Structure 1
């Protein structure tokens, strides 16, 4: 049941966060491996990006990849939040007073995040490539020309087999370690602190709301460089052997981005990323807490009958 709660919470949150995911992806690919002033700027900021996408692609443009994104986040967080909650239920993450132990929470959330990312990697690959596909006049990055998620999976599998679907998995797993450990640990510790305030002690919604906002900020700062790298690794074109045309791996991607685009290159799309992670973290973690509480009440009612 803990695994189901995590999957449902993330899928629901995705509906609200996906438009910013599309904008974030476009902004991260803009000016790829080009110095400032040496490339066209189609997306000036997140608000301008939203306007440009809707103007050229319609409202459907900012919800590209929504279906596959909901399945991805459902599967990934079914595993991630399920593992974390199971470890918490078994008492591995808290002390004798029920307070979160920082390093244990960090290790558990990192492991849970990496595991979820590995199994969700093929869907993340497809999601990124679908979201990057744009009208010709505002296109950035490699354009794969997929005609839907199922066609994309079939094409990649037919050309490069199972390994082609898991291309870039190491990048997304590192991203998940940074993002999951910072998000879940900050969320748990912040909730513990907030519950020490008498006014908030019995308010699940407010403590979850405030904790998710804070954890979203921390997560965005930690995750953005790895997110840029993951986007670039997933979206790059490949040769006949399935090898990337621009980057050979995570380290090579980091090196080339910093060398050609500067340190600001690994923080491209950071505002859009927060506007994605903020609502996603907010709704996901609040839904998660609500579903967990509903589960506990359901079990209690069954036992008392």
Structure 2
């Protein structure tokens, strides 16, 4: 959701047989001795596996995250057509980043992105696993609600890392710079500088945009991903159970998720990256609603959809890669567990 919010469980009402290849934990997992769910892994293990899977996927999708950040900051609070556009579309933006920062520029902020993915996905999978074990996902709408809540908690925990990630990914040469330039030397220097100037509260600046961003993205993906996968199989685009079908389902689902999540994503990026006064108050936006109103009035409603192409292209691959890595890691853990009594 990183973006990255991924689907975690089958949508209620969808026959389980059609989802047997999906790396989802079962809806009900009876406990065995030691507190581990039968046929599954404990929530604490899901925390580690979810964090690891999110980080592995992040390495491959971070370049699109860099492009998305630049596109969303381009022309900040300026009417359309009145500002230079060094970044035009996803492909040309990738080229512009390479020309300005070299190939390594496509992985700007990678360490902070990995930290965010590890924290956010680890906590998200952990919370969802607990909700599943408690039986909340068996109620109508429980899967979506649990996914949204788990995503919101994960976003809150990972907010400082997302703040630093945004600052580092926005930094570039002055000729192609967009948004405020914080000029951090490193990830550790960024954390130290923010904490020294604004204290602990400064590390959570922008969290009011991050929490609804991940909650909405997670809920939308849970509501559409499995159905989209079944749809591409029914139309015989790909063989059922293949990873091509899962990827295609992720890209179809990505349309709905990108449309619903991108406005929250733009607002989140702006809140995180804006310059602040000595007391930590934002110089451009007073909060989530003020940011929405300012973007809408000065950049038009389409301003809330800047970078939607990069958001969409990142969603499908990141979701599938996260699920794939998570599933493989869970299988390794399950094979090493001793059989129940």
**Partner residue in 2 for 1:172:** 210
Q: Give me the CA root mean square deviation.
A: 2.4
TM-score (norm 1): 0.89
Q: Deviations over 1:156-200 (max 9, x none)?
A: 100000000011111100111111111234335556889999x96
- 2:125 aligned partner: 81
SS of aligned partner of 2:136: coil
CA offsets 1:262-296 (integer angstroms, 9 cap, x no match): 11100001001112222211211222233333333
Cα distance change on mapping 1:275 and 1:194 into 2, 3 Å: closer
Give the Cα–Cα distance (whole angstroms) in 1 for the partners of residues 299 and 197 of structure 2: 32
Q: Which residue of 2 aligns with 1:242?
A: 280
**Contact in 2 for aligned 1:2/1:86 (Cα 8 Å):** no
Give CA-to-partner distance per residue, 1:33-85, whole Å, 9 cap, x none.
Answer: 00011111111111111111101110011110001101110110001122223
- For 1:47 and 1:196, locate their aligned partners in 2 and report how far apart those are by CA, in whole Å: 32
TM-score (norm 2): 0.80
Aligned-residue offset at 1:91: 3.6
**Residue segments in structure 2 that go unaligned for 5+ positions in a row:** 1-44
Matches of 2:51 and 2:147 in 1, distance apart?
A: 15
- Residue 204 of structure 1 and its aligned partner are, at CA, apart by 6.8
Pick from 51, 74, 78 the counterpart of residue 7 of structure 1.
51
Q: Deviations over 1:106-125 (max 9, x none)?
A: 11011000000001000000
Look up the match of 1:27.
71
Give the count of matched residue pairs: 296
Distance verdict in 2 for CA 1:268–1:196, change over 3 Å: closer
**What is the 5 A alignment of 1:121-136?**
121-136=159-174
CA distance in structure 1 between the partners assigned to 2:197 and 2:144 by the alignment: 39
Write the distance in 2 (CA, Å) between the matches of 1:280 and 1:223: 15
Structure 1 CA distance for aligned equivalents of residues 226 and 328 of structure 2: 15
Distance in structure 1 (CA, Å) of the matches to 2:326 and 2:253 = 15
Alignment partners' CA distance in 2, 1:85 and 1:192? 24
Pick from 217, 224, 230: which aligns with 2:268?
230
Question: Does the aligned pair in 1 maintain the 2:258–2:312 contact within 8 Å?
Answer: yes
Task: Spell out the pairing of 1:1-305 with structure 2 (5 A cutoff).
Answer: 1-94=45-138, 101=140, 103-188=141-226, 203=241, 205=243, 208-299=246-337, 302-303=338-339
In terms of fraction of residues, the more helix-rich structure is 1
Q: In the superposition, relative to structure 1, how do residues 193 and 57 fare at CA in structure 2: closer, same or farther (>3 Å)?
A: closer
